[in-house]
Amino acid sequence: MKIVFASTPSQEEEINGLVRYIYSIVFPLYFTDDEISEFEDLKVLDTSVQHFEDFSTLKDAFQVMASMQTIISILESAVLHDHYSSLFEKNVSNLQEFGLFFPFDFDQFVEAKNMKNSMFSVYTKAANELLI
């Protein structure tokens, strides 16, 4: 007999929070608003009810969270070193095993980082708010 612990609602919230973080903080570092909008249409990192069934155990949910956090850490690095490539690809593969669509490879981010100018994005959280 094997005992399996189900993922918790807080883990699902954390995964959704990581997806929002990638869209609002990480993607704007590399892509234009139009490209990010297209990612939404393509359902990149879409977490539907079906996906949560695919990673329904504690172990699976932690693997998804760890993979997303690793990808975030790599992409937020000041310089994308080549030695990050295999780690990045391994974590992308982990996400895809759980049915999360993340159609990028490391070189795309290296290219995008070299081409991207500092631009405002509607996906980026506001740095401050004006209260009237």
Per-residue confidence at 51, pLDDT binned at 50, 70, 90? low
Over residues 107-129, the pLDDT tens digits come to: 999 998 877 654 555 555 555 55
User: 48-54: long-range contacts (C-beta < 8 A, 24 or more apart)?
Assistant: 50/99, 51/98, 51/99, 51/100, 52/7, 52/12, 52/15, 54/98, 54/99
Q: Give Cα separations from 130 to 22, 96, 125 (angstroms).
A: 25, 41, 14
Per-residue confidence at 27, pLDDT binned at 50, 70, 90? very high
58-75 helix and 85-97 helix, angle to the nearest 10 degrees? 150
Which amino acid, residue 47?
Answer: T
pTM of the shown model: 0.80
